[in-house]
Amino acid sequence: MSDGIDRARARQVADVTIGHMLRARALQHPHRIAIIDADRQLDFATLNARANRLANLLRGMEITRGDRVAILSENRAEYLELMFAAGKLGAIVCALNWRLADRELAHCISLAVPRVIFVSPGFAAVAARLDAGMETMIQFGDDYEERLARASSDEPEIAAEAEDGHVILYTSGTTGNPKGATISHRAQLARMHSSCVDFSLAPGDVFVAWAPMFHMVSTDQSVHVLCLGGKVIVVPGYDPDRILHVAETERLWWLVVMPGMIEDMIAAARRRRTVPRGIKLIGAMADLVPRHQLAEITSLLQAPYANTFGATETGLPPASAGRVPIGAAPARLPKIPSASCVFRLVDADDRDVPDGVPGELALRGPTLFSGYWNAPETNAQDFRGGWFHMGDVFVRCPDGTIEFVDRVKYMIKSGGENIYPAEIEQVLLKDPRVADAVVVRRTDATWGEVPVAFVACRDEALTEADLMAACRDSLAGYKRPKEVRFIAVDDFPRSTTGKIQRHEVEKWLRDVNQ
């Protein structure tokens, strides 16, 4: 029986995009500062006018809805101008990771086939070297400003629709080529809502965008803050003194700190005797941070640490409401599920697992990405059954919280038992004498595979026997490391988000055995 509702018309009249949001803020708060970077500051009226000029420039180049435009640049105000210009036009921004090798960058470009690339002067030679068949390369600086000056600042008709792609972020992955995660306008606005509900984002808040803008943590959060009339302070990379200076002079929403940089940030805060003006929340990826660092950084910056779990594909959900209190070094890190999604924990056959049994997290919700660009087989697998399968294993606790176990694809199979390395790492990281640790698999003639721990110490008196004793107290016998190797903390290979690259460490064992 028909309900008389035209679904297509309902979707059309419900469309709100990133472009609409900036236009509204420019009308409401034209003289409020929107962006500060090293060279200038832009108020909302100026930011909107420049985004309009850029949208009209692209339209003059016959860039239309659904076309891709690439950017290869460090963090700068122009990055956000492009995000909003494309948002008005309906074009999709391909945020290229400048840390990738030429071969990987060429793959990212050939995957999405952007028609134009914007580059900063520092990466112009890289872009030219790629020679990827793009029609135009526009360099920030005189070239960019001259083109913008010739374009109209009139408000273009917003062509984008809510389900159109807004940005493609390339997932790093541990094996194979990067995949292009397509984030829609719908997902961006739902992620903004999640930031408000679970991360206490409020209109007018301030965000420091120091992490590379080819990552979700800077692109998503910068867009959300600007859409709500807040201020983004752009820092072109990790600069602890600059970041802490901002924390000392501005009331901040969320100050992102990453595993691998926290010890250095602690040292810088002590050296500067930092007294923050006020920070609502700090941190990311608490599971990967030594517990003593959680206590120290929260005490120094006087803000709780985000005990969360999200991904490029999901935004802040599925777990974005948890906090580590100031000064706490918790033994466990149970997470509070986000109100912005529904999820299941499933086994290899997509059957729900009971409480206490590890299962892959599969979820639904408006913050989800639209899929990987030009990867139909991967999308069919990851979205099977109408749920997005994250590839991350959790257990559900009786109180409804969930605890991270490990990645599905990195598992140690020892004597018929499954061992998740992160479970062992959690035990090692509880010891305040441990600076960082990672567990990898080693082939074994008897058991097939066994765990081996690589540990960096803060205290040279720490011994393998100390750590083995801690593991005996907390882990089943088959889960305990068969060996502990001590290394310098700077020797850990890390991704751009600070995660230790487990597969690279595993190669050390293979190299020794060859």
Domain membership flag for residue 305: no
More confident position, 400 or 100: 400
Domain membership flag for residue 400: no
- CB-based contacts of 137-145 (< 8 A; 24+ apart in sequence): 140/73, 140/76, 140/78, 144/78, 144/118
Residue 174 has what pLDDT?
43
- What are the residue ranges of helices labelled H in 90-215? 102-112, 124-130, 142-150, 185-199
* Token pair belonging to 82: 């492009």
Domain membership flag for residue 496: yes
Where a domain ends, among 195, 216, 237?
237
Q: What is the mean pLDDT of the chain?
A: 91
Model pTM score:
0.85
8 Å CB contact between 432 and 366: no
Domain membership flag for residue 337: no
CATH number, domain at 57? 3.40.50.12780
Least confident span in 7-16, 147-156, 277-286, 484-493:
7-16
Q: What percent of the chain has pLDDT over 90?
A: 75
CATH number, domain at 475? 3.30.300.30
- Beta-strand relationship, 388-396 and 402-407: antiparallel
Q: What percent of the chain has pLDDT over 70?
A: 94
Domain membership flag for residue 192: yes
Where a domain ends, among 237, 268, 298?
237
Whether pLDDT at 512 is above 60? no
Where a domain ends, among 237, 265, 280?
237
Cα separation, 171 vs 233, whole angstroms: 25
* Highest-pLDDT range among 77-86, 132-141, 496-505: 77-86
8 Å CB contact between 187 and 315: yes
Question: How many folded domains does the chain comprise?
Answer: 2
Domain membership flag for residue 149: yes
Least confident span in 32-46, 242-256, 318-332, 439-453:
439-453
Least confident span in 37-41, 364-368, 416-420, 450-454:
416-420
8 Å CB contact between 492 and 471: no
Residue 484 domain boundaries: 413-514
Question: Would you call 156 helix, strand, or coil by DSSP?
Answer: coil
Domain membership flag for residue 47: yes
Mean pLDDT of all residues in 9-17:
68
Give 478's DSSP letter.
Answer: G
User: What is the per-residue pLDDT across 472-507, written as a single tens digit (0 to 9) for each?
Assistant: 988 878 889 999 999 999 999 987 667 888 888 988
Domain membership flag for residue 345: no
